[in-house]
Chains A and B, each alone.
Chain A
Amino acid sequence: MTHIQTSASGPALKSDPAAAEWNGPGRKNRAAPQPRGHRENLTGYLFMSPWIAGFLFLIAGPMVFSLYLAFTDYNLFDAPRWVGLQNFTDMFADPRWRQSVKVTSWYVLIGTPIKLAAALAVAMLLAQKRWGQSFYRAAFYAPSLIGASVSAAIVWRALFSDGAVVDRGQQLFGIDAGGWIGDPEMIIYALVGLTVWQFGAPMVIFLAGLKQVPKELYEAAEMDGAGSWRRFWSITLPMISPVLFFNVLLETIHSFQIFASAYIVSNGTCGPGDATLVYTCYLYDQGFANSRMGFASAMAWLLLVAVGLVTAVLFWSQKRWVHYEEDGR
């Protein structure tokens, strides 16, 4: 087509290194670089336009609007009223907000390490060559596929309710405690159990990391008389530390945003006794049940800042414990 021919010797040729590297599919080693034309760019943008429109209207736009709402009193119906930092000061004075921070922090600090430990332990088992290995891998990964769905949380609720399987199991051992779901002290453990049960995704990533550890290292360590525990601490963990870092980062961010499982397991109450009042649950309740959308927006932005800070701390800390082969650390 004509535009290709005209652009082949265009002025962009020398000044566009990206264009110099890419020569179209199957033409990697072709010496003569071809620049991208104006229309080619347009085609690209046209194909990207659904995403760009989605990003602008469904993500960026609402985010900017919610930042504005965070400084207003907005009940969904009347026009937003500017209140400055009032929502933020109200938040810190609100005992339920403090409870939501407490529950979420607990969930992140307890749930995430247990989930990652479970994922790593199972990944190490599955990394060994055994009969039926593929079946086990699929079986352990399956819960995380359905785990994100609402149905898994409903099943969890049914399992841990009064008189259900777990309760009856307890009774076999003479513990007549009733269901975990209605118990303010136990329901959070049911929630952590649900999250740990969905360890499939980090497990697959660990599995990929474990495959990359050179076998010679283990052989040399064995020759030196290192036991399995020693090999784990001195070889496995340092060698998979980049993968571990990636999983810690992803799962921590994910844990901060827990909503569906807490909401469904508690039957939409985030209780009993606010025991499962995770941050997003309180945010949702304030926004949609109590019609305090300004307050809910302020909460959302604070969560974003908190997750950003935690991510920054994790990135900062990786210098001390993550080992990348390339730079010899």
Chain B
Amino acid sequence: MSRNEGMDRRQLLRLAGLSAAGVGLTAAGCGSGGGSNGAVTIRHAWWGADDRAKKVQECVRLFEKKHPKIKVKTDFQQYADFWKKFNTQAAGGNPPDVIQNAVTFLRKYEAKNVLLDLNPQAKKGNLQLDGFRSGLEKFAEIDGKLLGVPVGSNSMALVIDEKVYEKAGIDHSLGWTWDDWYAGLRKIKSVSHMAGDSGPHGIMYLYDLILRQNGKAFFTKDGMGFGEAELLPYWTESLARVKAGIYADQKKVEQIKPASALAKGISAGEFTWDNFSVRYSAEGKSSYGLAPIPSTDGKKTGQYLGSLMLSGTARTKHPAEVATFISFMTHDPAVARIMGYDRGVPATTAQFEAFQPADAPSKAIGAYETEIADAGVLEPITPHPAGADVVEAAFLRIGSDMSLGKSSPQDSVKQFFSEAKTALASN
């Protein structure tokens, strides 16, 4: 035995060989795709709360049962974290095969060749494209490429505390104007001594509707569809309404997050997507209903059907399996019975008919979407340029800071346009 307990050449080589083998095994373990039994594994990622996760996982189990040759690995996060993770994965060339997607991100990832064109898969018969409800047939087409398939539709609405609105005697039927709405808020203030709204100044999708009612839009294909002259009076007025107690105390609104001000009884109404109304009933103690979006002229609400969609990613090695999975999630009636209105009213007729809601909030959502479709107020969605997601986050944050009194409406407007310019240029 040597004094220093060193190694001879053979031992060294053996150690080096073992290390290399170890690295090789680890690398092999990291790879995904083909399984030993001929099954193909795809990865599906989405954002949402635990409840959605349970439902999606149940759908995945059903899919795997019907398609034993395809395994689906699942992954989910909160909305903001989801996109941070996806950005990193996509930039590293390892995005999930199927993702939940939204219109805000379409052009951004199309410009970077991240999304899979599903048209060839539709032609091969792996993806069924018929049977979509009216207005949802050509949802995610950009430059002839099919970049996503809608799983559900939703539209902006005003969720109201029905008891408070009733007590104040407010008529909120379709065709009401912003003046009617504001008069209603003043009534609520005098009758119930509470704020009539949680404060809509940071909600990009609502402000988009207001702009559309006035012949503009939040975005054009390449950039911003409005200027400082439009936003300044809107935010100035909002701040005055916060100070007057017509809109809720914004400090309180922040404090109770992630709970909503409406459900906590801090305000009597809140603008949001219609399918979000389900959560208010779960969180709050009152009864909550949906009121239409007020308009400038009593007719044009500027509304459109927004939607969550499923997209494939271009780096996938299994486009056929990706298409099969998306087709299943959007068409199989059993999926609708599991998901309900969690991601909006189902996008296909087969799924729409398969799920008959029994709970009052879901019934109200179905009735609301039927009402606005029958009224003929729905229009096509305006395009969102690359970087729209960052602009939306900035609008929400800066609007919120302004309402908290952290900066003046003038400075806030300047700050917003400065950040929007940077976001649109760098994405």
Contacts and interface: CB of A to CB of B under 8 A. Distances in A.
Given A43-B12, A184-B406, A290 B390 contact: yes
Interface string A76-94: 1110000000000010000
Interface stretch (A59-67, A190-198, A266-274): A266-274
Contacts of B404: 184, 272-273
Contact of B400 (A1, A37, A181, A273): A273
Contact of A183 (B88, B112, B255): B255
Instruction: Give the contact-size bracket for chain A.
Output: 35 or more
B227 interface: no
A288 B84 contact: yes
A4 B4 contact: yes
A46 B12 contact: yes
Nearest to B257: A182
Interface in A41-56: 42-43, 46, 49
A2 B181 CA distance: 95
A43 B7 contact: yes
Contacts of A78: 112
Interface string B227-262: 000000000000000000000000110111110000
A273 B2 CA distance: 67
Contacts of A39: 6-7, 9, 12
Nearest to A95: B415
A291 B427 contact: yes
Contacts of A104: none
A179 interface: yes
Contact of A46 (B15, B80, B397): B15
B426 interface: yes
Interface string B1-24: 111101111001001100100000
B163 to A, nearest CB: 22
A34 interface: yes
Contacts of B400: 271-273
Given A162-B255, A162-B256, A181-B255, A268 B4 contact: no
A4 B6 contact: yes
Given A184-B406, A291-B426, A76 B6 contact: no
A289 interface: yes
B91 interface: yes
A39 B422 CA distance: 57
Contact of A43 (B1, B6, B91): B6
Nearest to B1: A1
B72 interface: no
A77 B90 contact: yes
Interface in A257-291: 267-269, 271-274, 288-291
B217 interface: no
B80 to A, nearest CB: 6
Contact of B251 (A42, A178, A269): A178
A178 B257 CA distance: 12
A182 B426 contact: no
Nearest to A77: B112
B355 interface: no
Contacts of A161: 255
A40 B255 contact: no
A4 B7 CA distance: 10
A1 B8 contact: yes
Contact of A288 (B87, B112, B114): B87
A272 B254 contact: yes
A46 B8 contact: no
Interface string B63-93: 0000000000000001011011001101100
A77 B81 CA distance: 19
A271 B397 contact: yes
Contacts of A183: 251, 254-255
Grouping DSSP codes into helix (H, G, I), strand (E, B) and loop, the A interface class, with mixed when no group exceeds half, is loop
A73 B426 contact: yes
A178 B254 CA distance: 10
Given A290-B390, A290-B423, A274 B16 contact: no
Nearest to B404: A273
B122 interface: no
Contacts of B162: none
B257 A75 contact: no
Contacts of B16: 46
Max chain B Cβ within 10 angstroms of own Cβ: one of A1, A95, A184, A291: A291
13 contacts: A3-B6, A39-B12, A43-B6, A46-B16, A73-B426, A178-B251, A178-B252, A182-B251, A268-B78, A272-B257, A273-B404, A289-B87, A290-B423
Given A46-B12, A274-B401, A76 B87 contact: yes
Contact of A184 (B88, B254, B256): B254
Given A46-B16, A178-B251, A182-B251, A292 B426 contact: yes
Given A182-B256, A184-B251, 5 more contacts: A3-B2, A76-B88, A182-B257, A273-B404, A290-B427
A24 interface: yes
A3 B4 CA distance: 11
A163 B422 CA distance: 39
Contacts of B15: 46
A78 B350 CA distance: 41
B393 interface: yes
A179 to B, nearest CB: 5
A311 to B, nearest CB: 31
Contacts of A46: 12, 15-16
Contacts of B6: 1, 3-4, 37, 39-40, 43
Contacts of B81: 268
Contacts of B427: 75, 290-291
Nearest to B86: A288
Nearest to A295: B426
Nearest to A186: B255
A34 B6 CA distance: 14
A4 B3 contact: yes
B80 A75 contact: no
Contacts of B390: 289-291
Contacts of B88: 76, 288
Contacts of B422: 90, 292
Contact of B12 (A1, A42, A269): A42
Given A34-B3, A43-B12, A184-B404, A291 B78 contact: no
A273 B257 contact: no
A43 B6 CA distance: 7
Contacts of B254: 182-184, 271-273
Contacts of A43: 6-7, 12
Contacts of A37: 6
